[in-house]
Amino acid sequence: MLILSVGLLVAGASVVASAVGAESAPDAGTVGVYASAEWYQSRPEAEQCWRGVLREREPVAGPGGRTATSLELSTADAAYPVYAAGVGRRLMKPFVGRAVEVQGKLVDLGAEGFEKELWVATMRALDAKTR
């Protein structure tokens, strides 16, 4: 029984280490954020590609605020609020302050009383040569 418990503990530690390593090393490749989510796929907006720096932002406070837009993508032309609720925020955090390439949809929520925001399908860090 003790051997089984130790084996499970070691296996569990390996899984945790792999997950932590994936988050702390975003250069390893492209990270899927909402690409496979049905609500993302069903939006009619065309997917586009943006390059810029992912930054923290202060979302509008209050009952009508969108706290899920506490990140923004700053490009040469504009700064886009980035929708990052749930798993998206956790996956995107290692990219904050870095140059990134984002594949996603610019969704206009003006009819709902909000602004345009970027919904991310995938994200990858850019190195100095790629920028």
DSSP string, 64-100: T--GGG-EEEE-SS-EEEEE--THHHHHHGGGTTSEE
Model confidence, pTM: 0.72
What percentage of the chain exceeds 70 in pLDDT? 73
Task: Specify the pLDDT at position 110.
Answer: 79
Q: Give Cβ neighbours of residue 94 (< 8 Å, ≥ 6 apart).
A: 23, 24, 25, 26
Residue 8 belongs to some domain of the structure = no
Question: What is the percent of the chain where pLDDT is above 90?
Answer: 49
3-state secondary structure of 52: strand
Is the pLDDT assigned to residue 52 strictly greater than 60? yes
Of residues 17 and 125, the one with the higher pLDDT is 125
CATH number at residue 99: 2.40.50.200
CB-based contact 117:81 (threshold 8 Å):
yes
Q: Closest by alpha carbon to 116, among 62, 53, 48?
A: 48
Report yes or no on 4 lying in a domain.
no
State the total domains in the chain: 1
* Residue 12 included in any domain: no
